[in-house]
């Protein structure tokens, strides 16, 4: 729902009044809260100091009583002389009379450093060392000065007051009074000051309440620990009746000034809460009063302002609808309304003149739009013509590039054929010369073969003589073997005779020995005969061994002669075959010689024909090189023309319309394909790393960022991505293969690129036709 100026003016006035009053109320409330919190803080701290003073007052009372006893005549002397019974008789009765009425829990004498001499509250117990836990006693005896304050003892926490004892100026010990510090102390404090109080001390399992007047504590364990560490904790809580309670937690020190526990003081703060509620009620009344006053002023002001403004608004509305016969009221006034009325009159006149200018402008714009449409259509047709020319030029360039490659390969092959033919001519000459030489050598071989036949015949006759000599030697070896056998038989007889002789000599020796002295001469003769028989036996053994060796040698010689005979027979057969072969070779060599002369004549004719082919091939190679130069010049001219067309297409790229971008994208596509083909033909230094991909080229950027639903919904748009991606992939692969020296594979990739390129151009044309139909 829209609000008028009057409502908004009144709303703003009311909002400002309420905002001002609320801001003042907020700051006043904050100030009041701060003052109340300060007052609560001061009162709580005052109650804490009163608690400390109450503890200090008890300690002063204990110290005063200890000072009184220490200065009684004879007391220090009784401690110095060890007269415990006498001292007990003097001190125990007064202690019993005063303990209950004045809250005295302990009355004790000590000897240095901290040995119990007499406990008036327990006379039977004495002589124990208190130095491990009664530091007030140790400090008093060590410093010989009074000590007072809170300290733990055997009976628990209490208020201590100690004084040193001097006997004739010599320190002999100390006297101590311990006053009650338990529930009665805190009950008296609450009765006196009207606040609840409790003392939290640290135990084995955390903090616990030593004594106090509170049923439950308002402080958490973390807050008590923070207060124990020296940080005051002040907070406000609500009691069971809904009243405000201010709580303070602060550390309480022992006699040495170290924290002993945390005193929690809870004070009824309903008075402060009531004062704060009164302040808030007053501020709320002020805010409501400000709202009422603001609403009244807003109504009065809006009626004196909005009526003329509404009249002028109605006039402006009619002027805006080109109704210029409206009357404007308030032109005679000198205030802001009069200024606004005169301004509306100026607007009326200007709008009337503007309407007349707009009518004239609309006519001019209609004429300009017609001219612009004609110009745009002409530019589009021109761009399409440029791109079509670039496409045709590129296709022709691709064809020429392929033709150039084919012609270049033909030239190279022609040159290779010419070189091969030249080598063939040289080879034919060499073969012809070799044929002549071979014919001469064949004639020489024929003579040599005939000489070999004569030599083989002579060798056969020599082999026959050798066979006869071998046969003769074999017969003589056989005769020598027979003689050796006869000699062996004679040796056998000699060995038998030698054996018998040796036996006879042995018998003669035996008989000579029997004959005694008469047979000694016969014994000598028998011994000589025996020696002769032994020598004969050894000689026959040696002769037998020599004959056996000779027999073995003759057996080997006989075998050798047999082998020589067989070899001689084989040699005669081989010589016969060689003789026949040489005669056959001699006849064939004669035929070969004739054929070699025929081959030499034919090679001479072939040499002349090969020379003619070589000349024709060289002429073909020269013509191919000439064609290459012609094609290269044509490609150079087409490249220059393509650069001009590219420049013109780039000029149209700044137009930025979808139709223009499609045509420029076609041209970019043609340039990409042309750069790949030029690199394959060695016309530039492009590398695959310098190529853009299907996302970073102009067509890819247009495709990826297109938001026009008219185009993205076209089927051709969806099919464009794959062939466009393949164009860039084939281009990169072609350059990589060309860099590796695989020219044939690179040209195959160019063919695949060309096929994908035609798909891209067809799809771009389909999108352009669809755009024309949409227009």
Same domain? 607 vs 680: no
Query: Can you name the residues that pair with 341 across neighbouring β-strands?
Result: none
How confident is the model over 454-472, as a mean pLDDT? 62
What pLDDT does residue 250 have? 92
How confident is the model over 673-693, as a mean pLDDT? 84
Q: Evaluate if residue 592 carries a pLDDT over 60.
A: no
Q: Any idea what the Cα angle at residue 26 is, between residues 23 and 30, rounded to 5°? A: 140
Residues 530-547 have pLDDT tens digits of 676 676 667 667 667 766
Continuous H helices in 658-697: 658-680
Same domain? 478 vs 622: yes
What pLDDT does residue 161 have? 92
Q: Evaluate if residue 609 carries a pLDDT over 60.
A: no
Residues 214-226 have pLDDT tens digits of 878 888 888 888 8
Say how far apart CA 737 and CA 747 lie, in whole Å: 9
Residues 6+ apart with CB under 8 A from 219: 200, 227, 233, 235, 247, 249, 262, 264
Q: Which domain holds residue 722?
A: 656-774
What pLDDT does residue 112 have? 92
Last residue of a domain, one of 627, 646, 665: 627
Same domain? 544 vs 666: no
Last residue of a domain, one of 582, 607, 627: 627
165 phi and psi, to 5 degrees?
-110, 135
Say how far apart CA 444 and CA 769 lie, in whole Å: 92
Instruction: Give the sign of the dihedral formed by CA 616, CA 617, CA 618, CA 623.
Output: positive
% of the chain at pLDDT higher than 90: 8
Residue 515 tokens read as 């004959």
What pLDDT does residue 775 have? 67
Please report where in the chains the tokens 């008989």 appear, as a residue: 511
Give the Å distances, CA to CA, from 91 to 26, 137, 174, 545. 68, 19, 15, 157
Q: Is the residue at 457 inside a domain?
A: yes
| DSSP assigned state of 130 | -
Q: Is the residue at 723 inside a domain?
A: yes
Residue 464 tokens read as 């026959």
What pLDDT does residue 185 have? 85
What pLDDT does residue 220 have? 84
Q: Evaluate if residue 442 carries a pLDDT over 70.
A: no
Residue 148 — pLDDT band, cuts 50, 70, 90?
A: confident
Walk across the sheet containing 104-111 and list its strands: 115-119, 104-111, 170-179, 156-167, 147-153
Walk across the sheet containing 259-268 and list its strands: 206-212, 196-203, 259-268, 244-253, 233-238
Report the residue count for the chain.
Answer: 775
Cis status of the peptide bond prior to 461, with omega within 30 of 0: no
Q: Is the residue at 476 inside a domain?
A: yes
What pLDDT does residue 553 have? 60
Say how far apart CA 51 and CA 189 lie, in whole Å: 7
Same domain? 723 vs 595: no
% of the chain at pLDDT higher than 70: 58
Q: Evaluate if residue 720 carries a pLDDT over 60.
A: yes
Residue 175 tokens read as 């006297």
Say how far apart CA 88 and CA 95 lie, in whole Å: 10
CA atoms within 13 A on the CB side of 539: 12
49 phi and psi, to 5 degrees?
-65, -35
Same domain? 505 vs 619: yes
Q: Evaluate if residue 601 carries a pLDDT over 70.
A: no
Please report where in the chains the tokens 């640290």 appear, as a residue: 202
Q: Evaluate if residue 613 carries a pLDDT over 60.
A: no
Residue 413 tokens read as 């092959």
Q: Is the residue at 672 inside a domain?
A: yes
What pLDDT does residue 732 have? 92
**Residue from 642, 688, 657 nearest 396 by CA:** 642
How confident is the model over 343-365, as a mean pLDDT? 78
As a dihedral over the C-alpha atoms of residue 66, residue 70, residue 71, residue 76, rounded to 10 degrees, the angle is: 170
Contact 115/128 with Cβ under 8 angstroms?
Answer: yes
**Residue from 272, 52, 42, 20 nearest 159 by CA:** 52
Q: Evaluate if residue 729 carries a pLDDT over 90.
A: yes
| DSSP assigned state of 736 | H
Residues 6+ apart with CB under 8 A from 273: 36, 243, 244
Residue 710 — pLDDT band, cuts 50, 70, 90?
A: confident
CATH of the domain at 430: 1.10.287.950
Same domain? 515 vs 588: yes
**Residue from 193, 183, 199 nearest 252 by CA:** 199
Contact 734/767 with Cβ under 8 angstroms?
Answer: no
What pLDDT does residue 176 have? 93
Contact 425/612 with Cβ under 8 angstroms?
Answer: no
Same domain? 428 vs 538: yes
- The more confident residue out of 99 and 400 is 99
Residue 375 — pLDDT band, cuts 50, 70, 90?
A: low
Residue 111 — pLDDT band, cuts 50, 70, 90?
A: very high
Residue 691 tokens read as 């190529």
Residues 331-348 have pLDDT tens digits of 777 777 777 778 877 877
What pLDDT does residue 175 have? 94
How confident is the model over 513-526, as a mean pLDDT? 66
Q: Is the residue at 393 inside a domain?
A: yes
Please report where in the chains the tokens 């002397």 appear, as a residue: 77
CA atoms within 13 A on the CB side of 161: 24
Same domain? 481 vs 527: yes
Same domain? 568 vs 702: no
The region of weakest confidence among 287-301, 562-576, 669-683 is 562-576
Residues 149-201 have pLDDT tens digits of 888 777 678 889 999 999 988 999 999 998 878 788 888 888 888 888 988 88
Same domain? 430 vs 525: yes
Residue 428 — pLDDT band, cuts 50, 70, 90?
A: low
How confident is the model over 255-266, as a mean pLDDT? 86
How confident is the model over 591-598, as a mean pLDDT? 61
Q: Is the residue at 111 inside a domain?
A: no
Q: Is the residue at 532 inside a domain?
A: yes
Query: Can you name the residues that pair with 249 across neighbouring β-strands?
Result: 233, 264
The structure's pTM equals 0.37
Q: Is the residue at 99 inside a domain?
A: no
Residues 293-332 have pLDDT tens digits of 767 776 766 666 667 777 777 777 777 777 777 777 777 7
Within 10 Å of residue 596's Cβ, how many Cβ atoms? 19
Residue 676 — pLDDT band, cuts 50, 70, 90?
A: confident
Q: How many distinct structural domains can be found in the chain?
A: 2
Q: What is the mean pLDDT of the chain?
A: 75
- The more confident residue out of 428 and 513 is 513
Instruction: Give the sign of the dihedral formed by CA 390, CA 392, CA 397, CA 398.
Output: positive
Residues 6+ apart with CB under 8 A from 772: 659
Same domain? 591 vs 665: no
Residues 390-426 have pLDDT tens digits of 666 666 666 666 666 665 665 565 566 556 556 655 6
CATH of the domain at 731: 1.20.120
Same domain? 603 vs 688: no
Q: Evaluate if residue 480 carries a pLDDT over 60.
A: no
- The more confident residue out of 617 and 319 is 319
Residue 146 — pLDDT band, cuts 50, 70, 90?
A: very high
What pLDDT does residue 733 have? 94
């Amino acid at each position: 729902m829209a609000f008028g100026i009057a409502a908004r003016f009144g709303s703003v006035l009311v909002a400002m009044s309420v905002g001002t009053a609320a801001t003042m109320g907020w700051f006043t409330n904050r100030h009041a809260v701060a003052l109340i919190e300060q007052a609560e803080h001061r009162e709580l701290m005052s109650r804490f100091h009163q608690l400390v003073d109450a503890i200090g007052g008890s300690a002063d009372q204990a110290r005063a009583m200890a000072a009184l006893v220490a200065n009684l005549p004879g007391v220090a002397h009784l401690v110095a002389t060890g007269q415990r019974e006498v001292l007990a008789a003097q001190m125990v009765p007064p202690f019993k009379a005063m303990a209950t009425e004045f809250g005295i829990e302990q009355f004790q004498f000590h000897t240095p450093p901290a040995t119990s001499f007499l406990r008036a509250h327990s006379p039977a117990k004495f002589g124990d060392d208190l130095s491990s836990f009664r530091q007030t006693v140790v400090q008093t005896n060590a410093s010989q000065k009074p000590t007072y304050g809170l300290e733990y003892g055997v009976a628990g926490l209490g208020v201590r007051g100690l004084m040193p004892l001097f006997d004739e100026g010599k320190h002999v010990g100390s006297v101590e009074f311990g006053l009650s510090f338990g529930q009665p102390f805190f009950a008296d404090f609450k009765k006196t000051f009207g606040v609840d109080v409790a003392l939290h001390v640290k135990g084995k399992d955390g903090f616990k309440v030593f004594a106090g007047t509170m049923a439950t504590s308002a402080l958490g364990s973390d807050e008590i620990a923070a207060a124990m560490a020296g940080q005051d904790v002040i907070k406000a809580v609500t009691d069971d009746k809904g009243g405000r309670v201010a709580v303070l937690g602060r550390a309480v020190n022992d006699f040495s000034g170290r924290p002993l526990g945390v005193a929690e003081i809870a004070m009824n703060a309903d008075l402060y809460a009531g004062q704060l509620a009164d302040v808030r009620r007053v501020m709320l009344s002020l805010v409501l009063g400000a709202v009422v006053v603001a609403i009244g002023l807003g109504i009065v002001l809006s009626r004196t302002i909005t009526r003329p403004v509404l009249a002028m608004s109605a006039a402006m509305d009619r002027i805006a609808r080109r109704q210029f016969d409206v009357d404007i009221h308030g032109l005679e006034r000198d205030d802001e309304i009069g200024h606004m009325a005169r301004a509306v009159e100026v607007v009326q006149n200007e709008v009337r003149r503007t309407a007349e200018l707009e009518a004239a402008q609309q006519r001019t714009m209609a004429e300009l739009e017609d001219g612009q449409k004609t110009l745009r259509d002409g530019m589009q047709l021109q761009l399409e013509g440029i791109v079509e020319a670039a496409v045709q030029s590129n296709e022709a360039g691709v064809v020429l590039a392929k033709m150039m490659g084919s012609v270049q390969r033909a030239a190279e092959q022609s040159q290779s054929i010419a070189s091969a033919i030249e080598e063939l001519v040289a080879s034919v000459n060499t073969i012809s010369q070799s044929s002549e030489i071979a014919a001469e050598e064949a004639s020489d071989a024929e003579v040599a073969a005939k000489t070999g036949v004569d030599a083989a015949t002579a060798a056969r006759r020599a082999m026959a003589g050798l066979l006869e000599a071998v046969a003769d030697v074999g017969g003589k070896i056989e005769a020598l073997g027979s003689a050796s056998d006869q000699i062996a038989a004679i040796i056998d007889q000699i060995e038998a005779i030698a054996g018998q002789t040796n036996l006879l000599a042995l018998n003669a020796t035996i008989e000579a020995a029997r004959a005694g002295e008469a047979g000694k001469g016969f014994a000598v003769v028998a011994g000589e005969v025996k020696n002769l028989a032994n020598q004969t036996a050894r000689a026959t053994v040696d002769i037998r061994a020599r004959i056996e060796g000779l027999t073995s040698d003759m057996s080997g010689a006989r075998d050798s002669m047999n082998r020589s005979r067989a070899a001689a027979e084989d040699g005669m057969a081989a010589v016969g075959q060689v003789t026949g072969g040489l005669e056959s070779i001699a006849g064939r060599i004669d035929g070969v010689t004739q054929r070699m002369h025929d081959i030499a004549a034919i090679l001479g004719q072939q040499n002349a024909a090969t020379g003619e082919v070589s000349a024709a091939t060289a002429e073909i190679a020269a013509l191919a090189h000439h064609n290459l130069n012609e094609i290269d010049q044509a490609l150079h001219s087409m490249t220059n023309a393509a650069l001009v067309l590219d420049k013109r297409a780039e000029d149209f790229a700044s137009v930025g319309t979808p139709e223009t971008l499609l045509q420029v994208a076609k041209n970019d596509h043609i340039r990409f394909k042309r750069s790949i083909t030029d690199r394959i033909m060695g016309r530039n230094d492009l590398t695959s790393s310098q190529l853009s991909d299907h996302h970073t080229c102009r067509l890819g950027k247009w495709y990826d960022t297109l938001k026009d639903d008219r185009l993205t919904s076209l089927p051709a748009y969806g099919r464009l991505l794959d062939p466009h991606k393949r164009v860039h992939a084939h281009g990169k692969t072609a350059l990589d293969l060309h860099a590796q020296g695989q020219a044939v594979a690179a040209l195959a990739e160019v063919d695949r690129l060309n096929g994908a390129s035609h798909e891209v151009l067809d799809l771009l044309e389909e999108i352009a036709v669809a755009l024309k139909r949409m227009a």
